[in-house]
Amino acid sequence: MRAPRSLLGQFVVLHIAVALIATLVLLWSATTLLHQTADRFQRSLLVRQAQVVAAARADGAGTIAAIPLINGMAVATFGSDRRIDRSSGPARRAVLAAAPLDSHAHFFRRGAVEGYSLPTRGGWIVVSQDDTDPEVITDDIVRAFLKRFALLTLPIAALVPLIGVLLARRLTLRMRAVSAIAATIGPQSFDTRLPRGVLPTEAEPLAEATNAALDRLVAALHIQSAFAADVSHELRTPLAAIRLRADAVADAGVRADLMASVDRAARVIGQLLALAELEQPHAVEAEAFDLVALATQVVADRAPGIVTGGRSIAFETATDVAPVHGYPDAIILALENLVDNAAKYTPLGTAIIVRAGPGARLSVTDDGNGVPAAQLARLKDRLWRGADRGIEGSGIGLSLVERIARAHGGTLTIMPGPEERGLVFEIVLRDRATPH
């Protein structure tokens, strides 16, 4: 049996084991002590009874039948020839036959009968007592006490692990509360920190170290996003000047190549600016928006270029599209990236379908050639463009889409299309009804 992995489970198992062991040891100790006490008491009675008989015999008091016996004892006197002279009480021949008759006093036991042999002048006195005799109350007291002691001990033994469980439960609830706060920390809530004074003293340094690590991470992200934003802004002016110069080139082919390069650079800069805004907490305000209207706008904007390029595009919507709270400009950028990728990396004649819903999701499906399964998992890697595509690009489009999805509490999933043709890119977002 494997030990539980949780702290609470291990604490409970440990307390139950300790309580059971302690209970068994306590019961065994009490039983042993009581039986030893009862044996000493019983032997004391046997010795006293033998001494009374010895004193009466020394005084020549005649028969021992007149001597009162304690608790149903049996008494027998032996002569020097080791034969019984007189006896009183229950006849116990087997016990008397087992009695040691020598020059020393002895306690002996025959089954449930405890005996005592006392040498005297001219013989021996043997006193015996049956523990099971109704008149013997010592064992009855012991048994009654042990039953009551067990009834008292068992609830206490059960209470000890219960208290331990309650304490451990209280500790784990505090840890879960702090963990829930930690789970809310994200790109738009970098100012959240783990509370102090909630965790136990031993775990408090972990919370302090986590808060310090978050402070360093936020500072690094601010520097990174600020750098990306500054570079993007600085590049816009030179690109605008290059566009003007390129537009004045007389050779149409050269002019087209230059303009395509400028457009591609401008697109990369726009993506970097969007990424910088997403990675700066509270850089933009979230708002509620309609996925159907947003997707319709993107399809309408991209349809002319896609149709001119020899492909088709269609828009479908489910009946249960959920409202979304977030950043519509970023979602538009993500959907444009997916549609442009579908048009860029598929052969002529490809059909592209944009779907909104069900729920808070958007998907782009194509029936192109798809990609090998080994490359499917790497499509979202930043700056990775695959092999043998022969198509230029920055390699940050899908990584940007995934970053936008995560900024909305969602995910980007890439999977093979129906009948293993083409690909399906699906953005699943958190709708307004889902608690943060």
Mean pLDDT of the chain: 79
User: 277-286, 304-313, 353-362: lowest mean pLDDT where?
Assistant: 277-286
Give every CB contact of residue 166 below 8 A, 6+ residues apart in sequence.
Answer: none
The DSSP bridge partners found for residue 130 are 113
- The pLDDT confidence band at residue 295, using thresholds 50, 70 and 90, is very high
**In this model, does residue 405 exceed pLDDT 70?**
yes
Distances (CA, A) of 323 to 293, 356, 411: 11, 11, 17
Q: What is the pLDDT of residue 113?
A: 87
Res 364: pLDDT: 94
How much is the average pLDDT of 65-84?
Answer: 79
Per CATH, domain 287-428 is 3.30.565.10: yes
Mean of the pLDDT values across residues 377-384? 65
- What pLDDT does 61 receive? 56
What are the residue boundaries of the structural domains of the chain, listed by start? 7-140, 186-283, 287-428
* Most confident of the ranges 182-196, 270-284, 309-323, 389-403: 309-323
Instruction: Give the mean pLDDT of 265-276.
Output: 71
Centre a 10 Å sphere on the Cβ of residue 142 and count the other Cβ atoms it contains. Answer: 19
Give percent above pLDDT 90 in the chain: 14
**Main-chain phi, psi angles of 96, to 5 degrees:** -65, -35
- Angle made by CA atoms 37, 38, 44, in degrees to the nearest 5: 90
* Cis, peptide link before residue 358, omega less than 30° from 0: yes
Once rounded to an integer, what is the mean pLDDT over residues 66-88?
Answer: 81
In angstroms, the CA 338 to CA 402 distance is 11
pLDDT number for residue 277:
66
Residue 363 pLDDT grade (very low, low, confident, very high; cuts 50, 70, 90): very high
**Tokens 């022969």 map to which residue?**
390
> What gap in Å lies between CA 173 and CA 179, rounded to an integer?
10
Spatial strand order of the sheet with 361-366 comes to: 312-317, 351-356, 361-366, 423-428, 411-416
Contact assessment for residue 122 and residue 86, using Cβ atoms and an 8 Å cutoff: no
